[in-house]
Amino acid sequence: MYSFLEKLGSLGSSRSETISSVSEDNNNGSMATIIVPDVVPSPVEDCQRLHKAFEGLGTDEKDLIKVLGHRNASQRKEIRETYLQLYNQSLIDALQSELSGDFRKAIVLWTMDPPERDAKLANEALKMCKKGVKYLKIIIEIACATSPDHLMAVRQAYCSLFHCSFEEDIASHVSSLPLRKLLVGLVSSYRYEREVVDLAIANSEASTLNEAIKTKKLDQDHVVWILSVRNFYQLKATFECYEKNYGNAIDKDIKSSGKGDLQNLLGAAISCIELTEKHFAVVIKESVAGLGTDEDSLTRGIVTRAEIDMVRIKEQYRLLYKGSLDADVIDDTSGDYRDFLMTLLGKGI
Amino acid sequence: MYSFLEKLGSLGSSRSETISSVSEDNNNGSMATIIVPDVVPSPVEDCQRLHKAFEGLGTDEKDLIKVLGHRNASQRKEIRETYLQLYNQSLIDALQSELSGDFRKAIVLWTMDPPERDAKLANEALKMCKKGVKYLKIIIEIACATSPDHLMAVRQAYCSLFHCSFEEDIASHVSSLPLRKLLVGLVSSYRYEREVVDLAIANSEASTLNEAIKTKKLDQDHVVWILSVRNFYQLKATFECYEKNYGNAIDKDIKSSGKGDLQNLLGAAISCIELTEKHFAVVIKESVAGLGTDEDSLTRGIVTRAEIDMVRIKEQYRLLYKGSLDADVIDDTSGDYRDFLMTLLGKGI
């Protein structure tokens, strides 16, 4: 495990930034893998090229990738707005109607406004959550691996898109009360964002968490409160204190305490908070491991992190699996879908 | 009690609107009592007049009132920004240093950005809350009598001003776990804002609330969840169902169940949600009733509602107390403080 200070140092830029800071960061020493050209065509030029790619009998997928795969969030926003003005059609609708399969899903998610994209991912996850707790981990990611302002924007987008609040929809789909309480707590958080750590609180809350794990009372109010209210720096310090004081990493102790869904989701939350890039390295590895590919998870991992911390995710992937994330993605994908993902990974067309 | 539909009809405009809609509404059939002139001087002209009022030996308080008391939230924002540019000093700081007493408190709160003002009121309330639960009612008002977007903006402002999250500060000041849980739940809400009511849910949740009241388990998760997640229209329907199905108004049953702080705060939350203008009519009446005046409550009631729903608060005041809010304020105040409050009430200088 890294030392606390090393981990703190790496935390700042590993969370989702607001759109404006993403765009400022791009190609400027950031942890993004997408490549934005030094001279970016105007939104009108980009839209004309996209519109031309849709014309005729077939669609020119390569041109779609060459434009959209090399624009950051704020540039894509301008493109969406300009496209609607020029052609009186939503660019997202055009992509939906002209494309198909995994490539369509990936480029549509990439082109959407990030808070709307996450609201859509969360809504689909809730509809699927009866089929397995893995879907609820997507909500954990949105709550624990993004910035407080982004999470607020996701809640606003959720209300606009689905005509109820995010929390109400969690409650109507998740029947288990402990899971519901954890999820509602996490998505309702608006954490302080700067580095403020109180070591006395870290020790005391490590002890509270240890008590809850030992007595198998993981659903108690204190646990949810600590994980959903404390700032990410404070929580990293608490997890560090936990390991120092009780001998094991907290996620290991949670896993040992039982194999239920609650343990599973708490583990995901801690993993997102403790080392976001490691969490996503695992998400991507699991999506390509074994026979077959979990394209939805692979797409989500790459699309949501490509302009945030993909450089670090690749490093973690190398450390954990002694292999290359790029190579594994190439192995498991093909066609336009592969070209697009590799473009987001900084190795495409 | 009004019928459910009548109440629904009156709800829409009684909550805090976002700043832009406040400014659109002013002098335009809104429920605000402040009077903005048809032709508003430019922010530069307003600032010059304010700056002149500060000059010389004494301050010209009347001029401060004549400018700031007749500008809506977005105009005051422009004035603050322009003042800082012109004189390299914050207008709030100038008011703080040149004025004193209740007039200063009132005009400073009025001049602040509304989310910052509420963050400041909440912070002061938390510091005072050991002295009585009445201070925590201020937090209930901010959570339950304002719009979801305003509440989000208050949480953002709280982080900026006080270097921790609103929820963390609630927990560090409120030692009672049931109160803390209720307050954190309410301030973390981001409710759906449009009129969506499910009568089956209203009946079922009225029953859950009745069960909690009967068994004196008001601190259970379900109660907090219902009050902090459901949209305001849905909650009003739930309260109506409660009265229909169980014979008494829900706040009456809560009061009968005990006289603790939790009952007190739950009553305040229900009162803010059920009929916001009635809640504030009571706040203002209690601040002027009997010997002496509670200037802080009086100021808060008028400053926070003058451009939202003060017309309706005055109507409620007349219905409840058979007297005039304006006359009672005049009776209990004097000097510049009175002139300023009366200006916000639409009857000033």
pLDDT in tens, B296-335: 999 999 999 999 999 999 999 999 999 999 999 999 999 9
Tokens representing residue B118 in the block? 């509420």
- Give the pLDDT of residue A1: 36
> What CATH code is carried by the domain that includes residue A64?
1.10.220.10
Tell me whether residue B93 is in a domain: yes
Considering only CB atoms, A164 lies closest to which of B152, B165, B196, namely B196
Helix, strand, coil fractions of chain B, as percent rounded to 5: 70, 0, 30
Among A23-37, A61-75, B110-124, B275-289, the least confident range: A23-37
* DSSP structure string for B4-40: HHHHHHHHTTTSPPPHHHHHHHTTTT-S------SSP
Rounded-to-integer distance, Cα B105 and Cα B88, Å? 22
Q: What is the mean pLDDT of residues B8-16?
A: 43
Q: DSSP string spanning A39-58?
A: SPPPHHHHHHHHHHHH-SSS
Helix (H) or strand (E) segment spanning residue A194: none
Asked if A165 and B194 come within 8 Å (Cβ–Cβ), the reply is no
Report the chain B residue with the minimal C-alpha distance to residue A169: B229
Q: Exposed, middle or buried by CB within 10 Å (0-12, 13-18, 19+), for A20?
A: exposed
Q: What pLDDT is recorded for position A3?
A: 39
Mutation to test the A interface, candidates B152, B158, B162, B168, most A Cβ within 10 Å = B168
Q: What is the pLDDT of residue A17?
A: 40
pLDDT of residue B56: 76
Which tokens in the block code for residue A84? 């609607």
Minimum-distance CB partner of A181 among B163, B177, B221: B221
* Helical spans, DSSP H, in A56-176: 61-68, 73-87, 91-98, 101-111, 114-128, 134-144, 148-162, 166-173
* Residue B142 backbone phi and psi in degrees, to 5: -65, -35
Q: Tokens for B215, please give them.
A: 């068994």
Neighbouring C-beta atoms of residue A194, cutoff 10 Å: 11
A204 CA: distance to closest CA in chain B (Å): 14
* Position B9 in a domain: no
Q: B257 and B218 in contact (C-beta within 8 Å)?
A: yes
Smallest Cα distance from B344 to chain A, Å: 32
Arithmetic mean of pLDDT, B237-244: 98
Residue A74 counted as domain residue: yes
Instruction: Take residue B164 and report the two structure tokens written for it.
Output: 């921790």
Q: How far is CA A293 from the centre of its chain?
A: 19
Residue B184 lies inside a defined structural domain of this protein: no
| A163 contacts B192? CB cut-off 8 A | yes
Q: Identify which of B151, B166, B139, B168 has the alpha carbon closest to the alpha carbon of residue B115.
A: B151
Residue A147: count of CB within 10 angstroms of its CB: 17
Q: Which residue matches tokens 């002098």?
A: B27
B163, A196: Cβ pair inside 8 Å? yes
Instruction: Report the alpha-carbon distance of residue B25 to residue B18 in Å, rounded.
Output: 11
- pLDDT value of position B29: 52
What is the C-alpha separation between A8 and A236, in angstroms, rounded? 8
Are residues B171 and A196, on separate chains, in Cβ contact within 8 Å? no
Q: Which residues of B touch A (CB under 8 A)?
A: 148-149, 152, 155-156, 159, 163-168, 171, 177, 181, 184, 188-194, 196, 221, 225, 229-231
Decide if A190 and B155 are in contact by the 8 Å CB cutoff.
Answer: yes
* Alpha carbons within 13 A on the beta-carbon side of A110: 33
Residue A29 has what pLDDT? 52
Among A113, A135, A169, the domain boundary falls at A113
A170 to chain B: closest CA residue? B229
Least confident segment among A98-112, A127-141, B50-64, B134-148: B50-64
Q: Which pLDDT band, with edges at 50, 70 and 90, does B291 fall under? A: confident
- Domain assignment present for B289: yes
Give the closest of A171, A225, A231 to B229, CB-based: A171
B317: burial class by Cβ within 10 Å (0-12, 13-18, 19+)?
buried
Chain B residues with CB under 8 Å of A166 CB are: 190
How many residue pairs bridge chain A and chain B with CB atoms within 8 Å of each other?
76
Is there a contact between A190 and B230 if contact means CB atoms under 8 Å apart?
no
Instruction: Look at residue B226 and give its three-state secondary structure.
Output: helix
Q: What is the pTM of this model?
A: 0.90
- What is the predicted pLDDT for the residue at B19? 35
**Is the model's pLDDT at B195 over the cut of 70?**
yes
**Nearby residues of A185 by Cβ (< 8 Å), 6 or more positions away:** A224, A225, A227, A228
Using only C-alpha atoms, chain B has a radius of gyration, in whole angstroms, of: 20
Interface of A with B (CB under 8 A): 148-149, 152, 155-156, 159, 163-168, 171, 177, 181, 184, 188-194, 196, 221, 225, 229-231
CB B82 within 8 A of CB B41: no
> What Rg, from alpha-carbon coordinates, does chain A have?
20
As for how many domains chain B has, the answer is 2
Domain boundary among B92, B113, B134: B113
Residue pair B206/B245 in contact by the 8 Å Cβ criterion? yes
On whether the CB atoms of residues B106 and B303 are closer than 8 A, the answer is: yes
Q: Do B184 and A225 touch (CB under 8 A)?
A: yes
How many Cβ atoms sit within 10 Å of the Cβ of residue A162?
17
Is A267 part of a structural domain of the chain?
no
Residues 6+ apart with CB under 8 A from A135: A125, A126, A128, A129
Residue A107 domain flag: yes
Instruction: Out of B113, B137, B157, pick the residue that ends a domain.
Output: B113
Is residue B194 assigned to a domain?
A: no
Which site among A167, A187, A205, A238 would you substitute to test the B interface, given the most B Cβ atoms closer than 10 Å to its Cβ?
A167
Report CB contact under 8 Å: B181, A230. Answer: no
For position A291, what pLDDT does the model report?
86
Tokens of A66: 């060459």
List the single residue in B156, B159, B167 with the smallest CB-CB distance to A229.
B167
Mark the ranges of chain A whose per-residue pLDDT is less than 70: 1-29
Beta carbons of A149 and B156 less than 8 Å apart? yes
Amino acid at A233: Y
Q: What is the pLDDT averaged over residues B126-133?
A: 95
Domain containing B95 equals: 43-113
